[in-house]
């Protein structure tokens, strides 16, 4: 099969491409390299087509979609913090960019879109946890809002044009290639600080909790969703919550170091607690996250030590 992967030079996109190549697929990668990196795709760059440019550019996206059978949409502005400071920019990439892609796809012969949304930022602060797909979406950041709006557009393209889709709502993804200097991905950021012997910065009292899911489990669910006949929304998390103080303890064990902590005020837009019920993905897609947090952090640390 020939797939377009938008955001393919990014952290998650590059793992997805790697798995799709291992399964003998042909890949077009569309990316503007704003946060994505050539090093992420260096290992297999000669085996894929790269379209460099902006997801908001209609002509470029129409060309990228030509001849592909289906599309994985991952290109996005992913920083919650940046979205609170530049909501218009966030909406432009995450909403306008998504609509531009959906338009190009529905005018092409491509059959289906798998859209990587967010489970960490779409539900806000639900009364009942873990959040299931039936939990009312109530995002508290422009990033959560823009990812949700793109979901609604995708459903509209299905209702009106019959464009098939699946939506994946991942929890907090971590793993090799996540940028330690980026604004998202606390595990990578902490590992980067530890490697340089710097203290880690904790926003709030350290009791905020998240559901950390390994990147290869996410590329796996994206492919399972693509191969499924079901057209639906799937949470992708472990169903386990880990707070920042517990996370630091695991990181101390893995890196065999003592981590210095600095506490700052909580940031606007950050939820306090979120973890996801992914039983629907288990039942309908036969997907279960298979990487335990300590093992995943250990793989990430190994990658970090080898590459930095
Ligand atoms: N990392 C997480 O914890 C997490 C959690 C839930 C959902 N997601 C979603 O997963 C997807 C991938 O995120 P990631 O963590 O790999 O981030 P990333 O920043 O590494 O990947 C995003 C990619 O999109 C590209 N991109 C950004 N703006 C673009 C534009 N205007 N035109 C073309 N390309 C553009 C970037 O260069 C980058 O390669 C995103 O849609 C994100 O919302 C991520």
Taking only the tens place, the pLDDT of each residue in 178-234 is: 998 887 899 999 999 999 999 999 999 999 999 999 999 999 999 999 999 988 999
- Give the start-to-end residue ranges of the domains of the chain: 2-176+212-241+272-291
Q: Nearest-CA neighbor of 13 among 28, 24, 23?
A: 28
Task: Name the residue at shortest CA distance from atom 8 of ligand 1.
Answer: 118
Ligand 1 pocket member 303 (CB < 6 A): no
Ligand 1 pocket member 54 (CB < 6 A): yes
Ligand 1 pocket member 170 (CB < 6 A): yes
- Annotated catalytic residue 165: no
Q: Which of these is catalytic: 143, 165, 275, 304?
A: 143
The architecture CATH gives domain 2-176+212-241+272-291: 3-Layer(aba) Sandwich (3.40)
256 burial class (0-12, 13-18, 19+ CB within 10 angstroms)? exposed
Can you say whether the dihedral through the CA atoms of 12, 17, 20, 22 is positive or negative?
negative
pTM: 0.98
Give the pLDDT confidence score for residue 182 in this predicted structure: 82
CA of 115 to the centre of ligand 1 (A): 11
CA distance 209 to 224: 28
Which distant-in-sequence residues (6+ apart) come within 8 Å of 209 by Cβ? 241, 242, 243, 244, 272, 273, 274, 275
Atom of ligand 1 nearest to the CA of 119: 6
CA distance 78 to 65: 23
Ligand 1 pocket member 80 (CB < 6 A): no
Task: Name the residue at shortest CA distance from atom 43 of ligand 1.
Answer: 78
pLDDT in tens, 82-133: 999 999 999 999 999 999 999 999 999 999 999 999 999 999 999 999 999 9
């Amino acid at each position: 099969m020939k797939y377009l992967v938008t955001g393919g030079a990014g952290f998650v996109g590059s793992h997805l491409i790697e798995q799709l190549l291992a399964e003998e697929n042909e890949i077009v990668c569309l990316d503007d390299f704003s946060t994505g990196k050539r090093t992420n795709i260096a290992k297999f760059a000669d085996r894929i087509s790269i379209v460099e440019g902006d997801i908001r550019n209609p002509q470029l996206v129409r060309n990228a979609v030509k001849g592909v059978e289906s599309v994985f949409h991952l290109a996005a502005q992913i920083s919650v913090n940046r979205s609170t400071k530049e909501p218009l920019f966030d909406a432009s990439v995450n909403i306008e960019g998504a609509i531009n892609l959906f338009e190009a796809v529905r005018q092409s012969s491509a059959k289906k879109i798998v859209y990587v949304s967010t489970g960490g930022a779409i539900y806000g602060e639900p009364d009942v946890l873990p959040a299931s797909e039936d939990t009312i979406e109530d995002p508290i950041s422009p990033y959560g809002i823009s990812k949700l709006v793109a979901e609604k557009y995708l459903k509209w393209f299905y209702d009106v044009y019959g464009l098939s889709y699946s939506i994946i709502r991942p929890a907090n993804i971590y793993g090799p290639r996540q940028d330690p200097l980026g604004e998202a991905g606390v595990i990578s950021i902490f590992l980067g600080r530890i490697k340089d012997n710097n203290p880690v910065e904790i926003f709030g009292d350290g009791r905020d909790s998240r559901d950390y899911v390994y990147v290869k489990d996410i590329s796996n669910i994206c492919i399972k969703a693509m191969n499924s006949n079901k057209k639906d929304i799937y949470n992708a998390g472990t169903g386990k919550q880990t707070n920042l103080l517990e996370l630091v303890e695991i990181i101390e064990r893995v890196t065999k170091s003592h981590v210095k902590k600095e506490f700052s005020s909580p940031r606007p837009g950050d939820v306090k607690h979120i973890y996801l019920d992914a039983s629907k993905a288990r039942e309908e897609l036969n997907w279960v996250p298979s990487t335990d947090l300590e093992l995943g952090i250990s793989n990430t640390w190994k990658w970090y030590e080898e590459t930095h």
